[in-house]
Structure 1
Amino acid sequence: MNPTTFEKLQYNELKDRVKSFCVSGLGRQLIDKLTPSAKMNIVSHRLHETTEAVTILNTNSRVPFQGVAHIQPIVQSLEKGEMLDPSQLIEISDFLRGCRKIKTYMLDKEYLAPVLSSYAQSMTEFSSVEEEIQYTVKGNRIQSSASKELKRIRSSIATTEQKIEERLNKFLRNSSNKQYIQEAFISKKDDRYTVPIKAAYKQRVEGAIVDVSAKGSTVFIEPTAVAKLNATFATLKVEESMEEYQILAGLTGLILEHIQEIKINMELIGQYDLVFAKAKFSKQIDGIEPALNDHGYVQIVGGKHPLLPGEVVPLDCEIGKDFRSLIITGPNAGGKTVVLKTIGLLTLAVMSGLHISAAKGTEISLFEQIFVDIGDNQSMENALSTFSSHMYQISSILKEANNHSLLLFDEIGSGTEPNEGAALAIAILESVYQQGCITVATTHYGEIKRFSERHPDFMNAAMRFNSETLEPLYQLIQGKSGESNALWIARKMDIEEQVLQKAQQYIDGKGYSLDKISEDKRRKPKQVKQQSKVYADYAKGDRVRLLEYDDVGIVYQGMDQFQNVVVLYQREWIEVNVKRLALELKAEDLYPAGYDLDALFTDYSTRKMQRDLERGSKKALRKVEKEIRKHRK
């Protein structure tokens, strides 16, 4: 199916709504992969699954999905040869327990949902594996009872720890040690038992320094009296880790032996989650399973767009039996586009196995392709106009469409000169009709409506419009073309009847009036005296803004006969017309009285040379003479 179709018809948004009802990552993954099918047996089976799931939910019983976590990452780790930790084993155990409960639950629903119940026959129970994990692991820790050796080691660890604590407490209570002790408590550092000693007395206490506090005021010493016990404790901890490793490896191997059956269980759990998510969505929208066909007949009775908020006006629509092309007319914002989207999205939903919000008698056809040209497709990247991009889209549709296609065109032929647009739209509609397509199109063009009235396999339809309140009613009426709502609105706005009658004549026959108005109604041009614009009188030293650069400069020479001003800007003299200048501050407001304005236009080195020459500097004179000789050469 064309990805543009999914985007324009909000198909992925619909899947997101259904996905919100999933309880596991397995089900959400399947919904992400879900696509519409055009095969009758597949769609019929999908819809039947959803109907059976709704039947089960209607019993008000709760499907036991508790514990069926997304264990795919754990399974992938297993297949890579990685060993599972206690928390992962717990997740596997919970998943297997959830599978067992769902199997029991679904087998019990055979009389309500024979198809869904039959899937549970393929699900494997692993009661022995569950029991083994539960017996071995508790609270993400391996139980001491998991093996005799582990029980012995942990018992020895407890005894050794008790002896260490007794000796350290005796050390802390000894009055001769009190002056050395920072605080009277036992601290465990890297599995070694220590006591905190004041740094100043660290040489007075026999033992090994294990750690030092952040400020260096306290050292943690392992007294010699417990050094041997600490070594024994460390050895026992290593033995404990080795025994735990052996136990975890054994459980990992046990699960790996059944990995294929577990993966089948995962697929079945994901499928159940998907189907029951569809069923929950169906109950939310009060959905039905519609009748199906594969020959292009669509009949929607009381259909509602599943994503529109609030109260939605139901849609009644039929196409594909007595006619194959439906032309919808009506006012802007009258609901024409919503009709197209509703027909398209309901069809995609059914082809995906979803129930739809509609009444009994609804029948949906399956299509190999659904092509959509809805909305403003203007492309800034490709510099395509709205009309050009519509034509580009329609061009690709014409190449791919066949007699198993549903076409949805919004405002076909719009975006260009009306006569040409209408003629082109009629030619396109005729072409896709000859290809055997089922087509629904909206338009404002009267020519298209008249073509549809005359063609035996086309049908006109109109969106109802309240001519009194000027409000759209969002209701489709087939067999009737839309009236000129523009004239209705104009009449309500008190446009003169004479003007409206003329407009109706032009709509019917295009017999335009070409009479010229009389001379006495023509306005004569008035003589207007042109006034020259007065520009500011610029003088040397004025600060001005150069509009072209949005920056400031200093006036060097005032306005000449051509209205040009010489300005010092970024150490260069430039000639600028007064039209491109704006006065910021006059020179008299910038500089004190008697200020030498010429100094503004002389750089520092030149001014310094002048001062040096005035005071008779020999160095300055030699520099001038050097410049003169250089110039002569």
Structure 2
Amino acid sequence: MNNKIYQAVQFDTIKNELKKYAFSNFAKKAIEKREPSSSLPTVQRWLDETEEAITILASGQHVPFMGLTRVEQLTNQINKGMVLEPGELIEYADFLRSFRLIAKLFEKNKYQTPILYSYTNDLTDFSQVDATVYEFIQGNRVKSESSKALKQIRNQIAKLEKEIDQRLRKFMANSQNQAKLQDRLILIKDDRYTVPIKAEYKQKIGGTIVDQSSKGTTVFVEPETVRKYNDQLIMEKAAEVGEVYQILAYLTGLIGERMSEITYCIDVVTELEVIFARAKYSRAIDGKKPKINKEERIIFNQVKHPLLNSPVPLTLNLGIDNRALIITGANAGGKTIVLKSVALVSLMTMTGILVASGEGTDIAVFDDIFIDIGDQQSLENSLSTFSGHMQNLSEIIKKVKRHTLVLLDEIGSGTDPNEGAALAIALMEEMYRKGSLVIATTHFGEIKEFAVKHEDFTTAGMAFDAETLTPKYKLLLGETGESHAFWIADKMKINERVLANAAEYLENRSYDLLKQNFQPTTQPQQAVTATKVYDFSKGDRIRVNDTGKIGLFYEPIDDYQANVYLEKEMLEVPLRRLTLVSTAEELYPMGYDLDTLFEDFADRKYKKDLARGSKKAHKKLNKEMKQRRELAE
């Protein structure tokens, strides 16, 4: 199946919707990779699997997919030789236990869901592995009873902690120490039990300073009476870590030894997860299992597009009495949606998804589906656009054969209508001769006429309400639709006189061909003398011809050059490159000080501030005078 079709009809969006119903990365990746099948038995099996899964869901039963969210990550860790933590082992044990629970569920429902039962019948029982994990781990912690050594170590740790606690409490209860305490607390710092002492007494306490507060007001002291117990405790805890690691490594090893069997079961459960994702999505769109065929027969009965809000159901048939369908009608009438619906529903069916449809819907399983689609609803039908369509159609022509469906949107558009229509007809004839089914949309009357006359082509129009002048988005088989250009133009607020003239031209083909006399709207410019190539005054608004930039004329330098104020800069520009836009007399009132036009706003403000006696301005002036004197000296 060519991948261009997926994006064109939003099949990728359907896959993304499916992935929302999957838990594991294994299943999400499987959905992403799953291609529509061109095999009739495969598609039939997929549809039957989805229907069986819906039966389970409809009965209120739930498949116990447990531990799936991180199973890929944990499996990769095991395969890399890493040791799982207690909580991770419990997750994996839950996953292994789910195999038995899933098998038990489908054993109970094997007569209603025989295909799904056949999957689960091969799931391995890993009860010895998961039972051992549950025996050794409780509450995300390795049980003390997991080994004799671990039990002894933890008992010793408990005794040491109790001894340290008693000694520290005795230390804090001593009247000589109470005034030196910052708080009556026992705190662990760097794995050692300490008490908080006021900083000023740190030299008056028998013990080791382990840490201090960020402000330096408190030090954390390990009294001499508990030092050796802290040392022993640290050693015992290190021994505990080592023993726990050995137990975790043993449990991880139990799983790793069975990884080949687990991998097979993962594949089975992943496929089940994919099937139930299809079932859940099919239920969400009210999908029904259609009939399918390999006889190039498309029968849609009240089929709904799954991604549209309140879609108008589509009914059409192709491949029985005719092998090509030409759809006509207004741009806004839904012709393109018909093409996308046919393709998308076919692809969904070929992937095992049930579609929203009525009784009798029969969908062909194609070897390939091709599409040439592009919204030609602007005035920018350029040569490059037409060339792109031709390149796509050239590739399609090479690949079409029997059991292929070709969808063509506005075929032949983007070029001369006569040539475009002729080329479109020739292209469709070639696709038809090679045995493909063709559905095309068009505005061209010549293509409509060709479809009406051809024995194996048929037509359809998009319904249009003549009273309200609005499209109904409904396909009418056997009819030809009008483009309703006048309706669209009226919608776009085209002038009534233009619409009336267009109607007259359409009816009678008589046009107003008389030449209209247009009087000049401006006085002709005076001829330029040979000795003087300009006639500009200060303040005139001018255009620099080679750049198109607008500026102000300042003064001529000679008969050929002038100073022009352009983008806050005074530039020398050849007079021959200047064009008058507006004169200063037109732009400014009589007596206007034109020199101010050539000063920056900041300079004008500075001068005004000086004139009104601004202290800030005079201070700046004095500073500038001082700087000039210093430079002169």
TM-score by structure 2 length?
0.83
Change over 3 Å in CA distance of 1:573–1:241 after alignment to 2: same
Letter in 1 for 2:439: V
Q: Is the 8 A contact 2:542 2:579 kept in 1?
A: no
User: Which residue does the alignment assign to 1:625?
Assistant: none
1:235 corresponds to which residue?
Answer: 235
Residues 463, 552 of structure 1: alpha-carbon distance in 2 compared, 3 angstrom cutoff: closer
Aligned to 1:151: 151
In the TM superposition, residue 441 of structure 1 has moved relative to its aligned partner by 0.3
- Read off the aligned partner of 2:374 and give its amino acid letter: G
Q: Hey, what's the Cα distance between the residues in 2 that align with 1:360 and 1:217?
A: 83
* Aligned twin of 1:468: 467
Per-residue deviation at 1:4? Answer: 1.3
Alignment-mate amino acid for residue 88 of structure 2: Q
1:246 aligns with 2:246: yes
Structure 1: which amino acid aligns with 2:335?
K
Whole-angstrom CA distance in 2 between matches of 1:222 and 1:515: 108
Number of the residue aligned with 1:599: none
Residues 1:373 and 2:372 aligned together: yes
> Using the alignment, how far apart are the partners of 2:126 and 2:497 within structure 1?
81
Q: What does residue 623 of structure 1 align with?
A: none
- Which residue in 2 is equivalent to 1:586? 594
Q: CA distance change for structure 1 residues 110 and 529 in 2, over 3 Å: closer, same or farther?
A: closer
SS at match of 2:471: strand
Q: CA deviation at 1:75?
A: 0.9
After superposing the two structures, state which structure 1 stretch, 246-255 or 273-282, moved more: 273-282
Going from structure 1 to structure 2, the CA distance change for 1:127 and 1:514 (only over 3 Å counts) comes to closer
Q: CA deviation at 1:240?
A: 0.7
Q: Which residue of 2 aligns with 1:36?
A: 36
Counterpart for residue 523 of structure 2? 530
1:333 match: 332
**1:308-364 Cα distance to aligned partner (Å, 9 max, x none):** 112x22111111122211111111111111111111111101111111111121111
The offset of 1:5, in angstroms, is 0.4
Q: Is the 8 A contact 2:327 2:442 kept in 1?
A: yes
Give the SS at the match of 1:203: helix
1:387 aligns with 2:386: yes
Tell me the amino acid that sits aligned with residue 63 of structure 2.
Answer: V
Q: Distance in 2 between the 1:84 and 1:66 partners? A: 18
The Cα shift of 1:435 comes to 1.1
Go from structure 1 to structure 2 and tell me whether the alpha carbon gap of 1:385 and 1:138 turns closer, same or farther (over 3 Å shift).
same
Letter of the 1:278 partner, please give it. Answer: R
Find the aligned partners of 1:232 and 1:491 in 2 and give their Cα distance. Answer: 93
Range with greater deviation from structure 2 (112-121 or 398-407): 398-407
Seen in structure 2, the aligned counterparts of structure 1 residues 120 and 460 have a Cα distance that, compared at 3 Å, is same
- The residue aligned with 1:76 is 76
Contact 1:63/1:105, CA 8 A, preserved across alignment:
yes
Alpha-carbon deviations, 1:478-502, whole Å to 9, x = none? Answer: 2222246447889998999997576
Structure 1 stretches lacking a partner, 5+ long: 506-511, 596-603, 618-633
Q: Cα gap change, 1:523/1:180 in structure 2, threshold over 3 Å: closer, same or farther? A: closer
- Deviating more after overlay: 343-352 vs 95-104: 95-104
> Which residue in 1 is equivalent to 2:425?
426
Distance 1:170 1:391, change over 3 A: same
Task: Please list, as runs of the form range in 1=range in 2, the aligned pairs for 1:164-183 lying within 5 A after superposition.
Answer: 164-183=164-183
- Give deviations 1:238-272, integer Å, cap 9, x for gaps: 11111101111110111111112222222222111
CA–CA distance in 2 between the matches of 1:92 and 1:28?
Answer: 19
> Cα gap change, 1:146/1:552 in structure 2, threshold over 3 Å: closer, same or farther?
farther
Task: Report how far residue 49 of structure 1 moved.
Answer: 0.6
Partners in 1 of 2:499 and 2:375 — Cα distance? 35
- 2:210, 2:490 → 1: CA distance? 97
TM-superposed deviation, 1:236: 0.8
Alpha-carbon offset, residue 432 of structure 1: 0.7
> What SS does structure 2 have at the residue aligned with 1:421?
helix
SS of match in other structure, 2:538: coil
Distance 1:551 1:181 in 2: 82
Shift of 1:120: 1.1
Deviations along 1:147-185, one digit per CA (max 9) or x if unpaired, are 222111111111111111111111111122234333222
Partner of 2:506: 503
User: Alpha carbons of 1:257 and 1:525: their partners in 2 closer, same or farther (altered >3 Å)?
Assistant: closer
Question: What letter is aligned with 1:414?
Answer: S
Deviation of 1:546 (Å):
8.6
What is the CA distance between 1:424 and its match in structure 2? 0.7
CA RMSD in angstroms, aligned pairs only: 3.7
Secondary structure in structure 1 of the residue aligned to 2:195: strand
Secondary structure of the 2:410 match is coil
Distance 1:48 1:395 in 2: 38
Q: Is the 8 A contact 1:209 1:220 kept in 2?
A: yes
Corresponding residue for 1:441? 440
Secondary structure at 1:287 match in 2: coil
Q: Tell me the equivalent position of 1:624.
A: none
**2:121 aligns to what SS in structure 1?**
helix
Structure 2 CA distance for aligned equivalents of residues 450 and 250 of structure 1: 79
SS of residue in 2 equivalent to 1:202: helix
User: Structure 1 residue 54: deviation in Å?
Assistant: 1.7
Tell me how far apart the structure 1 counterparts of residues 474 and 570 of structure 2 sit (CA, whole Å): 74
386-395 or 153-162, which moves further after superposition?
Answer: 386-395
Question: Is it true that 1:281 corresponds to 2:284 in the alignment?
Answer: no
Q: Say if 1:146 and 1:531 are closer, same or farther in 2 by CA, change over 3 A.
A: same
Maintained 8 Å contact 1:543/1:587: no
> Where in structure 2 are the equivalents of 1:480-519 lying within 5 Å?
480-483=479-482, 485-486=484-485, 500=503, 503-504=506-507
8 Å Cα contact 1:566/1:575 also seen in 2: no
Q: Secondary structure at the match of 1:395?
A: helix
- Mapped contact 1:26–1:269 kept (Cα < 8 A): no
The whole-number CA distance in structure 2 between the counterparts of 1:496 and 1:385 is 31
Mapping for residues 13-32 of structure 1, pairs under 5 Å: 13-32=13-32
Partner of 1:63: 63
The farther-off stretch of 196-205 and 68-77 is 196-205
Q: CA deviation at 1:35?
A: 1.0
The answer to whether the 8 A contact 2:536-2:580 is kept is: no
Q: Deviations over 1:262-303 (max 9, x none)?
A: 222222221111111211222222222222222311111111
Report the identity percentage.
Answer: 41
Deviation at 1:532, TM superposition (A): 5.5
Between 1:42-51 and 1:575-584, the stretch displaced more is 575-584
CA contact (8 A) 2:561 2:572 kept: no
Question: Which residue of 1 is the match for residue 529 of structure 2?
Answer: none
- Map of 1:125 onto structure 2: 125
Query: 1:106-155, CA deviations, whole angstroms, 9 ceiling, x for partnerless residues?
Result: 11110101111111111112222222222222222212222222111111
- Superposition deviation, residue 83 in structure 1: 0.9
Paired residue type of 2:523: Q
Aligned to 2:161: 161
Query: Separation in 2 of the partners of 1:281 and 1:243?
Result: 49
- Name the amino acid aligned to 2:128: S
* 8 A contact 2:486–2:499 mirrored in 1: no
Q: Give the stretch that moved more between structures: 546-555 or 161-170.
A: 546-555
CA distance in 2, matches of 1:552, 1:209: 79
Change in CA separation of 1:425 and 1:66 when aligned onto 2, cut-off 3 Å: same
Q: Which amino acid aligns with 1:389?
A: G
Q: Which SS does the other structure have where 2:355 is aligned?
A: coil
Distance 1:416-1:156 versus aligned 2 partners, 3 A rule: same
What is the CA–CA distance in structure 2 between the aligned matches of 1:581 and 1:524, rounded to whole Å?
Answer: 28
The residue type paired with residue 464 of structure 2 is: F
Q: Deviations over 1:412-469 (max 9, x none)?
A: 0011111111011011111111111110001111101111112111111111211121
What amino acid sits opposite 1:587 in the alignment?
D
**Are the aligned partners of 1:278 and 1:354 in contact in 2 as well (CA < 8 Å)?**
yes
Distance 1:443 1:397, change over 3 A: same
Matches within 5 A, 1:547-566: 555=554, 557-558=555-556, 564-565=562-563
SS at match of 1:333: helix
Q: Given residue 361 of structure 2, which amino acid in structure 1 is its aligned partner?
A: T
* Separation in structure 2 between the aligned mates of residue 30 and residue 338 of structure 1, nearest angstrom: 29
**SS of 1:302's equivalent?**
strand
Worse-matched range after superposition: 478-487 or 414-423: 478-487
SS at match of 1:481: coil
